[in-house]
Amino acid sequence: VQLQASGGGLVQPGGSLRLSCAASGFRLDDYAIGWFRQAPGKEREGVSCISSSDGSIYYADSVKGRFTISRDNAKNTVYLQMNSLKPEDTAVYYCAATTVVWGRVTEEVHYRYWGQGTLVTVSS
């Protein structure tokens, strides 16, 4: 059972990146999938989450209108499209899987599987 996050890199302010979270050993559509990030010297924070079945989506206020989460169940993959990137978006981004009730998806303690993280650096 494994989650693989990828797609990070170096991008200039205002640029875009698309992160991918691919699962092996289990079906992603059985889980809500969250993206978290941890900037240097800061605690990890929730960025976005997509539900397993009813289409519910959560975005942190800091990324609303700039980031879009989506899932392709046929590919067993969840994506995070990040546009209009800012230097403060610089962080290691993690994807994770949970079956917790929707009201608690921002609480990382409820996530069962975690990817290894992918570094996003926004800098000129």
pLDDT digits (tens, 9 = 90+) for 69-80: 999 989 999 999
Residues 46-66: tens digit of each pLDDT: 999 999 988 899 999 999 999
pLDDT at 70: 96
Question: How does residue 29 score in pLDDT terms, banded at 50, 70 and 90?
Answer: confident
Average pLDDT along the chain:
95
> Could you tell me if 13 and 124 are in contact, meaning their C-beta atoms sit under 8 angstroms apart?
yes
pLDDT > 90? residue 121: yes
Residues 83-95: tens digit of each pLDDT: 999 999 999 999 9
pLDDT at 66: 98
Q: Which residues contact 84 (CB under 8 A, 6 or more apart)?
A: 14, 16, 66
Q: Which two tokens stand for residue 79?
A: 């994506």
pLDDT at 124: 95
